[in-house]
Structure 1
Amino acid sequence: MNLNFTWIELVRKGVFLVKTVGLVIAMFHSAFGQSKGPETLKVMSYNIRIASPPSKGWGYTDLPATAEVINRVKPDLVALQEVDAFTDRSGKGVDQARELGTRTGLYYHFAKAIDRSNGDYGVAILSRFPIIKAESYRLSVVSGHPEAEVRAVAAVTVKTPLGKLVFLSAHLDHLSDQDRAHQIGQLNEILRKYRTLPVILGADLNTTPSNPVINGLIRYLEKPCTDCEWTFPADRPNRTLDYLMLSKKASRQFKRLTYATVNETYASDHLPLMMELSLN
C-alpha cells in the first residue's frame, strides 16, 4: 500500500471539499440577500392639481393617472398637495387621499386646509409604513388679500428602514411673500415640535430658491439646492416651486443619493420630485 499516494489524495479531496463548501456558502448568502446593498428610503413631493390633468381642463379628474405616476417610481413616502375630499368638482363621493392610498397600496393621512366646492381641500401623505402618529395643522394668512388662502400641513411619524422619522407635506400661499413669510413662521413652530426626530419636508412653497423669503426655513431645515431642477409648469418647466428638505438632524443622519424630477407631464401641472436617502 502506497501511504504517500493515499495521503496526497486525501489532501486533494479535502481541498476540493473546502472549496465546494465555500462556494455553497457564497451562493447561500447571495440567494438570501447577504450581499444586498445598504437600505435606502425614497420620498416624493407631488402637487397633483386635484388629479385634474391640465390638458383636460378643470372639472375632469383622472386619479388612476396620478396613482400610475406614484406606482411607477415606487416611493416609500409621498407628500401630496392640492388634494380634494368629497367636493363637487372632483366627485362628491371621492376622498382623493384615500383613493390614492387604495390604488397604490399605501397608508394615507389627509389634512384639510379650507372648504372648497362643497367639500374639503388640503394636503396629504402616503406611506409604505404603518403610521404611528398623524397630525394636521393650518397655516393662516395676514395680508388681507381677498384670494389669500389658509394652507395646511400634514405630519406623520413612521418607522422606516433608516429609523423613526417625521414626514411632512405642506403647501404655501401662492399670492404674496407677506403671507408666505407668515406661513413659514408657523411652519417653523411645527418643525420645532418635532426637533427630537429627523424630519423630511415635501412641499410646494410657491416660491423660487432665490427668493429671500425661503431663507426663513433654514432655522430648522437645510436648503436642498440653490440651482434646483425646475418643477413648474410640467410641460415647459421654467422655475422651481417644489422641494424636498431635510431637517438639520436628518441631514446629519441621512445621505442624499439622488434629487431629481420625474418626467411626467400629463397628470398635473407640477412635475413630481423624488429624493433617495441612505444612512450616513
Structure 2
Amino acid sequence: MKVLKKVLKILLFMSVMLVAEGKELRIMTYNIYGGRLANGIKLGESIKKYKPDFVSLQEVDRNTKRSNFRDVTFDIAVELGYNYYYFQKSRDFDSGEFGISFISKYPVEKIYAYELPSIGVEKRQVVIAELEKKEFGKKVMIINTHMDYKKEIKKEELESLSMLNGLFESDVKFLSGDLNLLPNTEYYQTLTKEWKDSYFEGKDKEMRSIEDPRIDYIFGDYSNNWKVKKSFFIKDDTQDWTKLSDHFPYMSVIDIK
C-alpha cells in the first residue's frame, strides 16, 4: 500500500508538471531564396535536427525550371517526415509557380489564404493554418506571410493584416514570416500593438536590442496561453548557412499553456 501511495504521488506530481509546462510547439520561419542555392532535400536535411513542428516558408518554387520541376515544399516535408503541407502561389514563374508555403508535423484542420495589397507582379499572400484542437487542447492558428519591401504599400499591408487578425477567433495565434521591415521602424511599432515579438521573450531576451537587424519574425498574440522557452536564428557552425539561402532560419520554442 505504501508503494502504491508513492506511485500515485509521483504520477500526480508528473501530471501537475505537465499542466504547468504545457505542450511544446516549435515554430520555424525560413525564407529559402527560391531554392537558388540549395534544393528541398538539402534544406530539409539542414533544418531536421532542430525538430521544427511547423515551418513557415517564403520565396518558394513549385515545379519551376530553377527547381528542376520539383515541388520544393514537398521535398522538405518528405525529408522532415511530415505529411501536412500547403503551397500558396504569389505569381507564375519560370514555367512553374512562386509563393509561400508551410509544413506541419501536426494535422491541419483548416487553411485560409488571402492576398495582401500588392505592387507589381508578385501578389503578396497570407496563409493561415488552424491546427487540430486535440493536439494542444486549444485552438492554435499560425499565420505565414511575405510582405513587400516597398514602403509605399507597407501601411496598407499592415492594415490588412490587422483586419485579418480581427476576423479570426482562436485561443492562440502566431504571426510568422519575412515581413521586410526592421524593428526600429514605425511599421514594427504598429505590429507590436497587436503582437508580442518572440525575440524579446524567453531565454537571452536581456541580451537583445531593438537595433538588432532582422526582418524574419515570429510574433504571438497577447493572450496568456503561450510562453516562449527560447528563440534563435540558426547560424551555427554545423555548416555554412549562407550557402543555403540569403536568410537564416528563425525558430521559437513555445509552451502552449
| Band the TM-score falls in, shorter-chain normalisation | 0.7 to 0.9
Contact 1:162–1:278 (CA under 8 A) maintained in structure 2: no
Match of 1:242 among 216, 221, 226: 216
The alignment status of 1:158 with 2:128, answered yes or no, reads no
The alignment status of 1:88 with 2:65, answered yes or no, reads yes
Query: How many residues of Structure 1 are paired with residues of Structure 2 in the alignment?
Result: 237
Kindly state the Cα deviation for residue 162 of structure 1 after the two structures are TM-superposed: 5.7
Contact 1:185–1:216 (CA under 8 A) maintained in structure 2: no
**1:270, 1:162 → 2: CA distance?**
34
CA RMSD of aligned residues (A): 2.7
Deviations 1:87-113 (A, max 9, x none): 121122x11112222221221011111
Contact 1:223–1:245 (CA under 8 A) maintained in structure 2: yes
Contact 2:36–2:66 (CA under 8 A) maintained in structure 1: no
Contact 1:111–1:154 (CA under 8 A) maintained in structure 2: yes
Contact 1:259–1:273 (CA under 8 A) maintained in structure 2: yes
Contact 1:167–1:200 (CA under 8 A) maintained in structure 2: yes
Aligned match of 1:137: 114
Once the two structures are overlaid, the 10-residue window that deviates more, 201-210 or 180-189, is 180-189
Deviations 1:91-150 (A, max 9, x none): 22x1111222222122101111111112111111111111101122222225xxxx5742
The higher radius of gyration belongs to 1
Kindly state the Cα deviation for residue 193 of structure 1 after the two structures are TM-superposed: 1.7
TM-score normalised by length of structure 2: 0.81
> What pairs up with 1:129-278 in 2 under 5 angstroms?
129-142=106-119, 149-159=122-132, 160-161=135-136, 163-174=138-149, 176-224=150-198, 225=200, 227=209, 239-249=213-223, 252-263=224-235, 265=241, 266-278=243-255
Query: Aligned AA for 2:42?
Result: A
Match of 2:29 among 29, 33, 45: 45
Aligned match of 1:110: 87
Query: Aligned AA for 1:98?
Result: F
Deviations 1:141-162 (A, max 9, x none): 25xxxx5742111111003336
Kindly state the Cα deviation for residue 34 of structure 1 after the two structures are TM-superposed: 6.2
Query: Aligned AA for 1:172?
Result: M
Kindly state the Cα deviation for residue 272 of structure 1 after the two structures are TM-superposed: 0.8
Contact 1:209–1:227 (CA under 8 A) maintained in structure 2: no
Structure 2: tracts of 5 or more residues without a match? 201-207
Aligned match of 1:122: 99
Structure 1: tracts of 5 or more residues without a match? 1-16, 54-60, 231-238
Judged with a 3 Å threshold, the aligned counterparts in structure 2 of structure 1 residues 229 and 216 are, in CA distance, closer, same or farther, namely closer
TM-score normalised by length of structure 1: 0.75
